[in-house]
Copies of this chain bind each other. A is one copy, B any other.
């Protein structure tokens, strides 16, 4: 099965790259950050605002969607884009990671993982073949191979066993993907935990199988940032330059910039929406906790220089009040403020890479974060 390359590299600056990926539902500018619409919805954010905030692509969770409303139902309703009204590119994970973290009574063997649904207790089997079928039914622009992700810390034997299984499941995923509609892509996933030589072996094996793009999975699962970045550094040289590289489940704005500096093109993370629900804003001045009483009487916006209206116009006092009062509107505003911050950061990164000023941009951005919030009034 051939895997045509739909990624175009536009500029590089050191290891940092900017490019564009063509999907059936439109272009994705890289480096790209994918907000997570777990169960067919972005928590607390209208799709139009996800788009207007600057998102090219979002991530949907296969595990949640296959259980409810089910992949077959979404397919009958015209696919995930039509179902949700998000008319843009969508990447779906394989479901494997969330089976491990959310489902009960899971049993994993060579053929599949078997688990009980956290919704109704029904027994469900997820094999690489079924995962690809589900992602096809969802109409995913970018499907992910099924893999096994080991939570760190873990022993080398466990990590190696899961990594080898992931390679075999990658091959099966690829075979199952044959006959996919034109333009749809399948990404392989490099595993290997925090063990450098296993990471290298996984990268080589995954590239040998051959995918439209390559993800690095099994990181941001409890290890220190330095370990994560060391793994990224060790893996990237073994991935083909011309293909997109996706670091799964990462991360903070700093994680993103550090990883971009090491050649990563794509990211997904729940942080913008999860922190938004918990009253925390991502800003040019670092993370700001709106619960803090210092904001109670502060008429100033989070960042008057932001080009996203809620960030530059809604007062800290109002956000503080909404968060303290448990008003949904607080979570709604902070979630979209955070998505917009991430997407503006990615836009600035893309521009900086094009202009070959990424290192200076990163230094300036980090120094703003480190200066911290504006002084209270």
Contacts and interface: CB of A to CB of B under 8 A. Distances in A.
B73 A297 contact: yes
Interface in A285-323: 296-297, 299, 313-315, 317-318, 320-322
A317 B83 contact: yes
Q: How many copies does the complex hold?
A: 2
A329 B42 contact: yes
Contacts of A73: 296-297, 317
Contacts of A327: 39-41, 43
A201 to B, nearest CB: 40
A1 interface: no
* Interface-centre pick from A85, A299, A317, A328 (highest chain B CB count, 10 A): A328
A355 B77 CA distance: 43
A331 B328 contact: yes
B321 A69 contact: yes
A275 interface: no
A156 interface: no
A76 B299 CA distance: 9
A321 B85 CA distance: 13
A43 B78 contact: no
A238 interface: no
Q: How many residues of A sit at the interface, in one of the four size bands? A: 35 or more
A338 to B, nearest CB: 15
Nearest to A119: B325
A332 B320 CA distance: 21
Contact of A297 (B77, B296, B314, B318): B77
Contact of A321 (B40, B46, B314, B324): B40
Given A41-B322, A332-B46, A78 B296 contact: no
Contact of A296 (B45, B69, B296, B299): B69
Given A68-B324, A77-B315, A329 B41 contact: yes
Contacts of A330: 41
A196 interface: no
Interface in A26-51: 39-46
B77 A44 contact: no
14 contacts: A39-B321, A39-B325, A41-B322, A43-B328, A68-B321, A68-B325, A69-B317, A69-B320, A73-B297, A77-B318, A83-B315, A83-B317, A84-B318, A85-B318
Given A41-B329, A83-B321, 13 more contacts: A40-B321, A40-B327, A41-B330, A42-B329, A43-B329, A45-B329, A46-B329, A46-B333, A64-B325, A78-B299, A84-B318, A328-B328, A332-B332
